[in-house]
Structure 1
């Protein structure tokens, strides 16, 4: 079931009606849990058992981790949780990938080995709910938060349908305590939630699917070299498509949760206005970035063991972050490029800190106006380099990625134009407006901006989004991050 479908609209209205019945809080939570399982079952009902198994195991293991004082037993329990969660993730998501690479290596060594290809179906959202349950058991091991009191609350923490399939990735203190006492959305929460739901659907249906998906698919699906303009417009189209698609999902999820009185963490904050690559990852897929920082980068040493180890730790984190997105070496290269960007940025920052000290050892303060202009220039440079990485993220293989990069940065003989003039115009307008909007909004939120707008203007904007949604509703494709 996807947010951008009539089925979900009916499901959401029924859930709102049942959830607001004058019944006990426990009964309302059971309705939420059953509704969440139904939401997930719309993809593949048998995988509910996998989700349920992960929930049950981590609930009891987490409680045991928190109370266990024997260090050896405590580590054993954590290993059990890690093997259980990561084992399922590796089998379903990386099983075929690992087998394929193993066969390649074995055959390269001269052995003729050709096993049957496994027919493994990837459960929807397994990367997201695995990270959700993992952070719970790790937190219990470190005693950074208290165990969830009941199985019902923990099950809701894991399976709450707005965030279940594609995030945001929630931490125990962010959501679990909200299930302890009765929740009923205020009129303001419902108003804001419906606005965010409308905005998220507009981003997905009208912008991502309606305006940008087709030119992106055309360019990335080309089998021959392209004109430089078409190559760049296709990559820019995907850059906008993946933002509007994923940020649209997160916006919908936050809005749906708000309509029921719950708060989910922010997942995007105008990333294409980032003035650096660390800034980009503080704005793009915020909950994943924070997860990788707290549960991978810092535990392996972070920046505490000298510059060289810092660069190694950054690369390891981004390589695994790339692999998290998909079982393909192109995702690893995508992560490696971001790791390289972060390492170079860190090196430049360290050198700048030394050179910016005056004779008294103080840092010279920059001129604010010049700083704003310089900041925008840096944002455009970061946006340019991020677009280069999207080539590897979207391309099906290295041959396609290399062919597209050559088209972007050189005039290739026999290249051809594949985008019609209307697509060229639409992509150019949408991307320019997106970047300007990101820069204008980089230090605020959409709800804060909406609150400052006159009621009549907000009404016009909201109505226009709804009208365009209705006109574009033939698009009901899955969100891009469902495959991760």
Structure 2
């Protein structure tokens, strides 16, 4: 069930009505959310729910164990069991064939027999997001950051809550499970803002992301040899915008949907293509993932509190594993390591010269150069991210640097959508907030008409087939 389907509109309407009809009773309202979440996920395939239920049971028992134990060794052992078992599920279902293929390639020439048949395990939708959120809850409980002990039911609902389960954002316990005890409330303004956020997400997905994907990105990446260098570059830029508007659309709808049930999710994007260096970019892009990697991987490795060489190694490990998290293909690790290597160069430069000043004309010039370099790096490295394999990525780079001109295959619609994407991305956030306030102040019937007109306009503007969200594959 996609967020941008009529099926979801009906599902959300029914769930909303049932939830608020029993919202004064904790277990009744949580029961509505649990049933809704199970139904939502089951619309793809129900069997992974058994995997999620089992993994959560192991984690819950480990949490109960180390909460009751006073032995540091026992507590660490239970924490290890929980993390290893949770990551084990991810490794088996997502990376088993990647490791098998790698072993065949490395050990086969040495005469070591390795299974050549694919395992063919079905990757459960949202497993990567489930895994990271599950680990964050266990670690936060171990650290004492979650004081109240929760029931297994609450623990499971925290992980399965339908707005964020499939493609994030990765929600911390303080923004969800710790709100389960509070009797929810929803003002007309909060409800209007939630609907506005959903409408923005639908427009991002259907008007911008899907049009760029089908109109230019897909055909160019499928056959780069059929296009000029200029067209390949525009396609790479278009893919960066497609990815942003597709994923931020999902986050917008998730945030807006959660708001309709009285929960506040943190923002997941902050105009990332205005970043002036890669550290700035990762503080703006997929913020919940960046914060997770920082808090549960980079800092436990020692962060930058260790020697400088070790700090650079920690950075490379974090970015490499963060890249591999995106998919069971070494090209994702290469993409992450490329970002990590360039971040290491930036950090060494800052160690030598000091961080650049933030004010003054020189700072503005440096920021301009930094923005151009950062955007170019993001666009060019995304070719590895988008290409179906490294061979096709190599073909794309070869074609890109041939220097052939001509843009005949870039349609007027694609140019128009690219312009809209770029302008909306640099538009001050205050204008979006003012538009949201204006939407909220409209009478309810007028708001309903506006939403219907937006839906009809989206349907009229997009002649392309509805596409899955890009991050569903991760």
**2: CA distance, partners of 1:64 / 1:454:** 48
Matches within 5 A, 1:287-436: 287-353=288-354, 366-367=359-360, 371-372=363-364, 374-411=366-403, 420-422=409-411, 425-436=412-423
What residue in structure 2 maps to residue 451 of structure 1?
437
**2: CA distance, partners of 1:406 / 1:118:** 34
**1: CA distance, partners of 2:440 / 2:7:** 34
What residue in structure 1 maps to residue 263 of structure 2?
262
8 Å contact from structure 2 (residues 192, 439) kept in 1: no
**2: CA distance, partners of 1:67 / 1:257:** 33
Matches within 5 A, 1:163-312: 163-222=164-223, 224=225, 226-312=227-313
- 1:441 aligns with one of 419, 428, 436: 428
What residue in structure 2 maps to residue 19 of structure 1?
19
Q: Does the residue aligned with 1:20 lie in a helix, a strand or coil? A: helix
| TM-score, with length taken from structure 1 | 0.90
8 Å contact from structure 1 (residues 330, 395) kept in 2: no
> Structure 1's 408 and 136: CA in aligned 2 closer, same or farther, altered over 3 A?
same
8 Å contact from structure 2 (residues 230, 407) kept in 1: no
Q: Is 1:477 paired with 2:470?
A: no
The offset of 1:54, in angstroms, is: 1.9
8 Å contact from structure 1 (residues 236, 427) kept in 2: no
Deviations 1:16-43 (A, max 9, x none): 1111114623111101111001111111
**1: CA distance, partners of 2:136 / 2:332:** 23
**2: CA distance, partners of 1:180 / 1:453:** 31
| TM-score, with length taken from structure 2 | 0.92
RMSD value over aligned CA atoms?
A: 2.6
Q: Is 1:468 paired with 2:457?
A: yes
The offset of 1:237, in angstroms, is: 1.4
Deviates further, 146-155 or 239-248: 146-155
**2: CA distance, partners of 1:85 / 1:204:** 32
The offset of 1:240, in angstroms, is: 0.9
> Structure 1's 277 and 462: CA in aligned 2 closer, same or farther, altered over 3 A?
farther
What residue in structure 2 maps to residue 138 of structure 1?
139
**2: CA distance, partners of 1:461 / 1:376:** 39
**2: CA distance, partners of 1:461 / 1:243:** 25
> Structure 1's 151 and 205: CA in aligned 2 closer, same or farther, altered over 3 A?
same
**1: CA distance, partners of 2:408 / 2:381:** 22
**1: CA distance, partners of 2:78 / 2:452:** 53
Q: Does the residue aligned with 1:224 lie in a helix, a strand or coil? A: helix
The offset of 1:462, in angstroms, is: 6.7
8 Å contact from structure 1 (residues 225, 404) kept in 2: no
Matches within 5 A, 1:117-132: 117-132=118-133
The offset of 1:126, in angstroms, is: 0.3
Deviations 1:399-445 (A, max 9, x none): 11111112222237xxx9796341xx444443344344333437x58
Q: Does the residue aligned with 1:139 lie in a helix, a strand or coil? A: helix
**1: CA distance, partners of 2:151 / 2:111:** 56
Deviations 1:330-350 (A, max 9, x none): 101110111012111112222
Q: Does the residue aligned with 2:21 lie in a helix, a strand or coil? A: coil
> Structure 1's 397 and 474: CA in aligned 2 closer, same or farther, altered over 3 A?
closer
Q: Which runs of 4+ in 1 moved over 6 A?
A: 416-419, 452-456, 458-464
The offset of 1:69, in angstroms, is: 1.4
Deviations 1:288-335 (A, max 9, x none): 000000100011111111221111111110000000000101101110
8 Å contact from structure 2 (residues 275, 281) kept in 1: yes
8 Å contact from structure 1 (residues 235, 387) kept in 2: yes
The offset of 1:372, in angstroms, is: 4.2
- Count of equivalent residues: 468
